[in-house]
Amino acid sequence: MEFNPHDYQKYAIEYILTHPITAAILDMGLGKTVITLTAIEELLHNRFEVSKVLVVAPLRVARSTWPEEIKKWNHLSELRYSVVIGTPAERLAALRADAEIYIINRENLVWLMQQDRQYLDFDMAVLDELSSFKANSQRTKAFLKLRPRLKRVVGLTGTPSSNGLMDLFYEFRCLDMGERLGRFIGQYRTTFFRPDRCNGNIVYSYKALPGAEHEIYNRIGDITISMKAVDHLKMPELISTEYPVTLDEKERQRYEDMKKDLILDIPEHEVTAANAAALSNKLSQMANGAVYADDDSVIRIHDRKLDALEDIIESANGRPILVAYWYKHDLERITKLLDKLKVEYARISSPGSIEMWNRGEFAVGLIHPASAGHGLNLQTGGNHLVWFGLTWSLELYQQTNARLFRQGQKSGTVVVQHIIAKDSIDERVLKALAQKDNTQTALIDAVRAEL
């Protein structure tokens, strides 16, 4: 296929070519993979500035998206690539292959850095989903060992600060080795933040100091390009709604007992939460309608969300609906409901199920955000997404929404419905997602490219 880049794609390609360090915050649907590959092709074959490129990406994206993009476009057909995934023997064989681009999943980055130096002579690297290089993780440590050898590095993401400004430290340290935000996280915290939630000497969270956001954006602005899809693509209208459900007195009392006492006594079962994080998890399950007991059995709390889902399916009148679930017991209860309703459904987890969804072969698609957020194009199969259970992760939330809300959506409108248990943790999760989005939007707006 012939590549005729849009103006914004030309701008982004030129930016990568003229900036040895690039943080490319490109919204979903803007074609970040073909943009980056076009720049790599120019650097390899015309400017001769690099000779061996490492691409680090999520497993599904490494295995499918990058190779498919190389094969898809005519101008990239001369690129020689090797996909470094599979068993250790298969990965080593892929490293030994005669190629210019080596594509590896991020989980194997630690393994890569344990190989002989002859396999590590990369002069350029691309971190696809830069936002996954956060905190002092093993993959971050591994890449920081490789970073001094690289002449060029590109970080790609659509969600750079999904959990606030603190995320940016390790992401940009991977890019510039600490030149802009400092080499140590303690120094970064002291400079831009103050303790927020504390218990004695233990600090649970930090709050940005006045003016910190502006200063952080100024420091990283010289290597950062940012573009939003709504500015450059003809996107469908997005309608986001809430479908509230109300717990009855007995159901509400169980929820409140768990919230207050961190324990719920049910005949023959007990549900306990050891800390605030565990309590949040238990309350989210209970808001959805069931909870895991300490013995791993599933305790039914209510069917309010299942009733709401049944109403939504009925009102859809056969039109396809994508349903996002979080817990395994949610999936089990939803599938029982669909069996009872005699509705054709499938889990969206394999290439075959993706193709069937896009062909409209079933009425309900079931999707788990953690396994199906990145790299899936589902927009031709429907325009209605229902969140049965929410996630605290803004990145997974946005990526899942973007499976339908993206360029190529046949409908002029995408509807995202959230089934929310009133006066429950669901409302807090939605609010937290909105607050995180505000922080991220501020970052993106601050460094948005002026075309």
Residue 342 has pLDDT above 60, yes or no: yes
Instruction: Identify the CATH number of the domain in which residue 314 sits.
Output: 3.40.50.300
Mean pLDDT over 417-421 rounds to: 94
Per-position DSSP letters for 145-166, written without gaps between them? HHGGG-SEEEEEES-TTTT-GG
Whether residues 48 and 143 fall in one domain: yes
Whether residues 325 and 377 fall in one domain: yes
Residue 445 has pLDDT above 80, yes or no: no
Whether residues 241 and 355 fall in one domain: yes
What is the distance between the alpha carbons of residues 23 and 224, in angstroms, rounded to a whole number? Answer: 5
Residue 254 has pLDDT above 70, yes or no: yes
What is the distance between the alpha carbons of residues 282 and 113, in angstroms, rounded to a whole number? Answer: 39
* Tens-place pLDDT, residues 89-133: 999 999 999 999 999 999 999 999 999 999 999 999 999 989 889
Mean pLDDT over 353-376 rounds to: 82
pLDDT at 166: 87
What six digits make up the tokens of 360?
Answer: 């409209």
Count of CB atoms within 10 A of residue 11's CB? Answer: 17
Whether residues 168 and 308 fall in one domain: no
252 in a domain, yes or no?
A: no
Q: What percent of the chain has pLDDT over 90?
A: 54
Q: What percent of the chain has pLDDT over 70?
A: 94
Whether residues 116 and 203 fall in one domain: yes
Whether residues 73 and 217 fall in one domain: yes
pLDDT at 122: 97
450 in a domain, yes or no?
A: no
361 in a domain, yes or no?
A: yes
Least confident range from 64-78, 226-240, 295-309: namely 226-240
- Please give the tally of structural domains in the chain: 2
Whether residues 307 and 323 fall in one domain: yes
Q: How far apart are the first and last CA of the chain?
A: 26
What is the distance between the alpha carbons of residues 219 and 19, in angstroms, rounded to a whole number? Answer: 15
Contact of 258 with 251, CB cutoff 8 Å: no
Torsional class of 315: left (φ above 0), alpha (ψ -120 to 50), beta (otherwise): alpha
* 3-class secondary-structure state, position 294: coil
Mean pLDDT over 292-318 rounds to: 89
| pLDDT confidence tier of residue 442, bands split at 50, 70 and 90 | low
Q: Could you say which of 206, 232, 258 is where a domain stops?
A: 232
Whether residues 225 and 315 fall in one domain: no
Q: What global pTM score does this model have?
A: 0.74
HSE-CB for 315 with a 13 A CA cutoff: 8
392 in a domain, yes or no?
A: yes
Q: Could you say which of 190, 206, 232 is where a domain stops?
A: 232
Residue 160 has pLDDT above 90, yes or no: no
Helices 185-192 and 168-176 sit at what angle, rounded to 10 degrees?
120
Sort 284 into a burial class: Cβ within 10 Å, 0-12 / 13-18 / 19+.
Answer: buried
| Contacts of residue 127, Cβ cutoff 8 Å, sequence gap at least 6 | 56, 133, 143, 153, 154, 155, 156, 174, 175
Q: Could you say which of 232, 260, 289 is where a domain stops?
A: 232
pLDDT at 318: 81
406 in a domain, yes or no?
A: yes
417 in a domain, yes or no?
A: yes
291 in a domain, yes or no?
A: no
Whether residues 95 and 166 fall in one domain: yes
Phi then psi for residue 285, to 5 deg, are -65, -45
Mean pLDDT over 183-196 rounds to: 90
pLDDT at 74: 95
Least confident range from 63-67, 141-145, 215-219, 221-225: namely 63-67
Which of 157, 136, 140, 127 has the alpha carbon at shortest distance from 57? 127
Whether residues 83 and 188 fall in one domain: yes
Contact of 208 with 192, CB cutoff 8 Å: yes
Strand partners for 264: 271
Contact of 70 with 64, CB cutoff 8 Å: no
Whether residues 22 and 138 fall in one domain: yes
What is the distance between the alpha carbons of residues 232 and 74, in angstroms, rounded to a whole number? Answer: 24
Phi then psi for residue 72, to 5 deg, are -75, -40
pLDDT at 450: 47
| pLDDT confidence tier of residue 261, bands split at 50, 70 and 90 | confident
269 in a domain, yes or no?
A: no
Whether residues 205 and 326 fall in one domain: no
pLDDT at 200: 79
Residue 377 has pLDDT above 50, yes or no: yes
Instruction: Identify the CATH number of the domain in which residue 103 sits.
Output: 3.40.50.10810
Whole-number average pLDDT of the chain: 88
Structural domain harbouring 44:
7-232
Least confident range from 38-52, 280-294, 434-448: namely 434-448
What six digits make up the tokens of 273?
Answer: 């939460």
